[in-house]
Structures are given as C-alpha cells and as structure tokens.
Amino acid sequence: MRALVQRVTQAHVLVAGEAVGQCGAGLLILVCAMQGDTEATAEALAQKIHKLRIFRDAAGKMNLALKDTGGAALVVSQFTLAADTRSGNRPGFSTAAPPVEGERLYLHFAQVLRDLGVAVETGRFGAEMAVHLVNDGPVTIWLDTAAP
C-alpha cells in the first residue's frame, strides 16, 4: 500500500459540495491499495502511521506520534498514488488494486486506525472529491509498504 501523510491543523473532503469527512489537528492520509496488497499490508501501514513521530514535542522537535497527541485522521482513497510515470507523459495506474479490492483494503486500513484509538473519518471511495487542508509545518511524508 502507498500513503501520503500530511500533518494538518484541519482538513475536510467534499463530494458534490457536501462535507463527507473532516478532522481537526492530526493527519490527512491519502491511501492507495496496490495489486497484491492484503489485510496484513493495510494493518502494517496503519500501525506505522499510528507510531510515526512527526508531531512536535514541548521542545519543538518531531518526537510525538499520532498515538501520543490524540489527534484525528481523515483517510481519503487516492488510486493516483499508483501512478507509473516512467514511460510517456500520461501516467498509468495498472499497479493499483482493482476497485473492489482497493475499497475493501482502504476501509480496512481506516478501521485498523479506529481500532488503535484514532478518531477517523473518510472520504468516499471512487467519488470525485475536493480535499481541503491546512498543512501544518508543512510536513508531508510518503510511505510505501513495498519500498525496501
């Protein structure tokens, strides 16, 4: 699985002008299931993000994790994280999981974060979404479970 994690002071996602998910201070997580990903992959990524020390401590150092801050998460599916741009100018997305599997793993990922005690809201899988955020820092981290 791939995720783009952004530390935010607030974020929300709109579908057809209607707010479907939001969070205050915490993380906006754009996530994409890849072919071959499993529930175990989703669980490992959720655990990693839950423990990722990217929040400031009292000294201003990035020493705290989402689990330490009590922050929330807005999880948004984004198959374009699977973009292959090695050839030509039009990205290919053939390495993304098929839609049914992608949605199942996306929802499982969000549920694992909830089970870890994080307040989680989501976007709407497969919908055209407008994502609004106030990036804190800015801090943006790319994670890929297939990376060495």
User: Which residues are tagged catalytic?
Assistant: 78-80
For residues 35 and 15, give the distance between their C-alpha atoms in angstroms, rounded to a whole number: 26
Cβ neighbourhood burial of 59 (10 Å; 0-12, 13-18, 19+): exposed
DSSP secondary-structure letter at 103? H
Cβ neighbours for 48, distance < 8 A, ≥ 6 positions apart: 143
Task: Work out whether strand 2-15 and strand 26-32 pair parallel, antiparallel, or are unpaired.
Answer: antiparallel
* Beta pairing class for 18-23 and 2-15: antiparallel
Residue 48: HSE in the Cβ half-sphere, 13 Å Cα cutoff:
18
